[in-house]
Amino acid sequence: MKLHQIIERTYAELLEHLAHTNIVLLHPRSRYRSVLVAKLINAPDMRVFYYAMGPDDINVGSFLSGITHDIANQHPTFGRHVNMLVPEAYDDMDLLLDTFARDLHEISTEPYLIILDEYDRSDSADDVQMFMERLVPLLPENCRMIINSRTLPRLPWVSMIARGGAILLEDETLIQENFYDIEGSGTQSLEVYALGPGFVLLNDKPIDTWEGHLPRLLFFFALDRPVITRSEICQAFWPELDTDQAVNVFHVTKRRLHKALEMDVLVHDEGYYRVNPDLDVHYDVMNFVSYLMRGRDENNPERIAAWQRAIDVYRGPFLQGHTDRWIADRRADFQTGYLEALTEMAHYRLNEERPEQALVLYQKALVEDNSREELHQEIMRLYTQLGRRSEAAAHYHRLQESFQENGHEISPETQSLYAQIMD
């Protein structure tokens, strides 16, 4: 196949994925990253805004100043909210996110694309990574973002993929496993289970010498993204301490982690920490997200089996019992993927004309998240289909009572469905 044909096929694949996800990373191994970016910029039927990260983008303030200025040159009214912020506001990450998202929402009501080129220039900026991670859920529905980088950005790609908010694309190949390019080649076999209470097996033996929960959580945190910095760790675990105190506690926690596994679990390399490559790690979260990706692949003849494997791997909420902010964020992301798998399997059972099994799957989803009104609607429909109208009515009244207790109102759609069932 000729080069221009390969590029056209890769470009078509990229456009297809852009229709279904918020962020696409052009993987550093991609051969045609620059060509694809150039084609997108010059596409006559797309509204594209381009920003190349520069050497000054070493903190979130410089990044916002740079991207706001450049996009304003392409869309004159962009950045009017960010430009009104006083200098003190740049210490408030939540305010920055809300303000920048507000500007994004006002760009257009039509679909548009933002390209962040040379993203690796921000590799050392912890606050830029945090800003980008928290920006993804705030992006307008009509906004898509492409990241082009020479290195794998320090973002929690696995949880972002689980939520359906991101993909990693290597030319025309969608990466569906080993998202962080971790090839464990050591003799020490480590089985890690974070979906549920969280536990670790070293050479088939459970680790129970953690000396508290912090060393164990530090290990899970290190698995969360490609690499991490000491300041990221301190901010996640000890935000209330000053820098020196947090660093001291970190080193104590790291020593306890190494003692529990009887080896240096975290290795330091060029300013970053990563899990020791001498460990052969098998992580249930990675497997879970890989199955989700295979289930989402409409060209995969084994996609139903993949959805089922994702359901089987999910043994409970991520690090159940812990309430740290980073854990709660990951828990919500993986829960979203789990509910997607249950819903897809329920649809499949309905197509097989097996409504009883579909009902069980929807009920299982409600155990995970009782607030999703669309699940309640499906359960009411299935009760009715199965000739169990009284149970549909009882379910509606329980939902009504639960919503009232939490200060919510049942949507008109659910009320209309109940009226139809009772008519």
* CA distances from residue 51 to 59, 67, 147, 305 in whole angstroms, order as listed: 16, 6, 10, 41
Question: Is the domain of 68 the same as that of 195?
Answer: no
Q: Structural domain tally of the chain? A: 2
Q: Give how far the C-alpha of residue 295 lies from the chain's centroid of Cα atoms, to the nearest Å.
A: 16
> How does residue 188 score in pLDDT terms, banded at 50, 70 and 90?
confident
> How does residue 407 score in pLDDT terms, banded at 50, 70 and 90?
confident
Question: Is the domain of 45 the same as that of 144?
Answer: yes
Question: Is the domain of 245 the same as that of 293?
Answer: yes
- pTM confidence score: 0.93
260: pLDDT strictly greater than 80: yes
- Three-state DSSP at 223 gives coil
Question: Is the domain of 221 the same as that of 241?
Answer: yes
Question: Is the domain of 138 the same as that of 13?
Answer: yes
Residue with tokens 């221009």: 4
The reported pLDDT for the residue numbered 313 is 97
Residue 81 lies in domain: 3-174
DSSP string, 81-101: TGGG--GGGGG-HHHHHHHHH
Indicate the helix (H) or strand (E) that contains 167. Answer: strand 166-170
Average pLDDT over the chain reads: 94
Question: Is the domain of 63 the same as that of 146?
Answer: yes
Alpha helices in 157-242 (DSSP H): 157-163, 213-222, 230-237
Indicate the helix (H) or strand (E) that contains 382. Answer: helix 373-385
Question: Is the domain of 218 the same as that of 329?
Answer: yes
| Residues sharing a CB contact under 8 Å with residue 331, sequence separation 6 or more, in sequence order | 317, 318, 319
Domain containing residue 92: CATH number: 3.40.50
Hey, how many other C-beta atoms are within 10 angstroms of the C-beta on 2? 7
Q: Is residue 367 part of a domain?
A: no
Q: Is residue 346 part of a domain?
A: no
d(CA 344, CA 247): 45
Question: Is the domain of 169 the same as that of 183?
Answer: no
pLDDT one-digit tens code per residue, 412-422: 999 999 999 99
* CA distances from residue 124 to 59, 154, 270, 294 in whole angstroms, order as listed: 9, 9, 11, 33
Amino acid, single-letter form, for residue 225 = R
d(CA 58, CA 76): 25
Question: Is the domain of 238 the same as that of 301?
Answer: yes
pLDDT one-digit tens code per residue, 124-152: 999 999 999 999 999 999 999 999 999 99
Hey, how many other C-beta atoms are within 10 angstroms of the C-beta on 130? 18
Among the candidates 149, 174, 199, a domain finishes at 174
Q: Is residue 389 part of a domain?
A: no
pLDDT one-digit tens code per residue, 36-60: 999 999 998 899 999 999 999 999 9
Domain containing residue 318: CATH number: 1.10.10.10
Q: Alpha-carbon Rg of the chain, whole angstroms?
A: 24
Among the candidates 174, 199, 218, a domain finishes at 174
Among the candidates 174, 209, 239, a domain finishes at 174
Question: Is the domain of 148 the same as that of 190?
Answer: no
Q: Is residue 383 part of a domain?
A: no
Q: Is residue 368 part of a domain?
A: no
Q: Is residue 7 part of a domain?
A: yes
* CA distances from residue 43 to 24, 113, 118 in whole angstroms, order as listed: 17, 11, 20
Q: Is residue 386 part of a domain?
A: no
Amino acid, single-letter form, for residue 370 = N
Question: Is the domain of 34 the same as that of 93?
Answer: yes
Q: Is residue 354 part of a domain?
A: no
pLDDT one-digit tens code per residue, 262-311: 999 999 988 899 999 888 899 999 999 999 999 999 999 999 999 999 99
Q: Give how far the C-alpha of residue 142 lies from the chain's centroid of Cα atoms, to the nearest Å.
A: 19
Question: Is the domain of 115 the same as that of 75?
Answer: yes
